[in-house]
Structure 1
């Protein structure tokens, strides 16, 4: 059985810790800081870190990799198209990573960065580690890619089974949903989700994981074909956005200034 916990890092990052309770082996996703992981391993000396999974090259995702590898000997898996420190296994679209009894398929999802990947496992329950591509209620900024690339990446993730649990890398849910409400003020599912998240954050509790089905209902960046979303995008740009990609680009521009 795999248990997944969040190790907070910096101001709003999550390092995902996967634990196989049968073998007492563990893996981490995007350790931007080694210390939270080293502290957990020190407090749990019976556990062994075997694998480090990296979605993209930004420092808040890779900053702890070299120290963790030096301390544990863990294998480092990361995207082939990006410079990942201490990488052992270079991953391309369609590759597979086996760790802790799980089989993760590598999905290339460019947009936030050009070589960004996500990790998806279907069995025993669908899991997605989406890095900074798909957030709960939102999506990452376009630092390197184009709106067309990011829109295609989000559509690819949106097509995963609706029960897929989404483990993204930041606690951005509340601010994302406040923007989503501005886009879709009459979305009843979104209104309820926002209220739930406001309560969780008031209690300083984590809002993740999300689910693909919930994202389809409440995340405006996955809803670019909805008439109400297009209308709001048109209002923002002052012109008609004729394609889902142009609607997405308008929403991303609006969110950047929200």
Structure 2
């Protein structure tokens, strides 16, 4: 039976995600940006929370762990780095498997934004929860990792099936689109950007996205094709990615 995902806004620009295994009725929250909003959504839906699945240690992703665990008894699962701000019941790393009822999540190592960042991939339903590694038309800042590490992580995600639905943790897409248009003149990107701006004008979300759509239009996944434009022609692919990421870090549009 399928996995049902409920998405809702948290904080200023985060998204909260609740995922329910329909075979057993058990649910997980992916990260805990805002405990109150998550508990309210659980109550409204009438879902039983079994797991908290953290992608990384940042407070807007693991800061609600203790309050939600106290209210629900859920098991906290995540990378070792989460212990910087929260206790873990189970530590996981790339290659591990987490079961939510009958739903099987593969843990993918996606360090770069933070060193121990991970993603959760449900192959049966083609759903990935990627935290702050990959965004719609963007990627996370390199707060702890290197460009080479982040490029490797993005390639792991890009290797997932094109139809994979990608739940990223922030509504950054309009800003990402403005930057993308500054470094890439691909017609498909222009069409996507116009659609994104229209969605945001109506107050509608741009998340989730898909692996196929990101591979076709996201400048961070397309970085090798942009190498000459960002001044690193002939360099390794991760150097092109690093140049695009550095340009985004100072972009003011």
TM range, normalised to the smaller chain?
Answer: over 0.9
Q: Which residue of structure 1 lines up, in the alignment, with residue 230 of structure 2?
A: 233
CA contact (8 A) 2:21 2:103 kept: no
Cα distance in structure 2, aligned partners of 1:255 and 1:137: 11
Q: Which residue of structure 2 lines up, in the alignment, with residue 243 of structure 1?
A: 236
**Where in structure 2 are there 5+ consecutive unaligned residues?**
none
What TM-score does the superposition give when structure 2 sets the normalisation length? 0.94
| CA RMSD after TM alignment | 1.5
**Where in structure 1 are there 5+ consecutive unaligned residues?**
none
CA contact (8 A) 1:106 1:118 kept: yes
Q: Which residue of structure 1 lines up, in the alignment, with residue 210 of structure 2?
A: 211
What TM-score does the superposition give when structure 1 sets the normalisation length? 0.92
- 1:91-106 pair list within 5 angstroms: 91-106=92-107
Shift of 1:137: 0.5
CA contact (8 A) 2:57 2:81 kept: no
CA contact (8 A) 1:17 1:28 kept: yes
CA contact (8 A) 2:23 2:102 kept: no
Cα distance in structure 2, aligned partners of 1:256 and 1:10: 22
Q: Which residue of structure 1 lines up, in the alignment, with residue 68 of structure 2?
A: 68
CA contact (8 A) 2:163 2:210 kept: yes
Cα distance in structure 2, aligned partners of 1:135 and 1:85: 25
Cα distance in structure 1, aligned partners of 2:133 and 2:28: 21
- 1:17-166 pair list within 5 angstroms: 17-21=18-22, 23-44=24-45, 46-83=46-83, 85-123=86-124, 125-166=125-166
SS in 2 for 1:77: strand
* Equivalences, count: 249
Report Cα offsets for 1:42-72 as digits up to 9, x if no partner.
Answer: 334x421111100000000011110000000
Moved over 4 A (4+): none
Report Cα offsets for 1:174-211 as digits up to 9, x if no partner.
Answer: 111111111112x1111111111111111111111111
Cα distance in structure 2, aligned partners of 1:241 and 1:5: 44
Change (3 A) 1:140 1:157: same
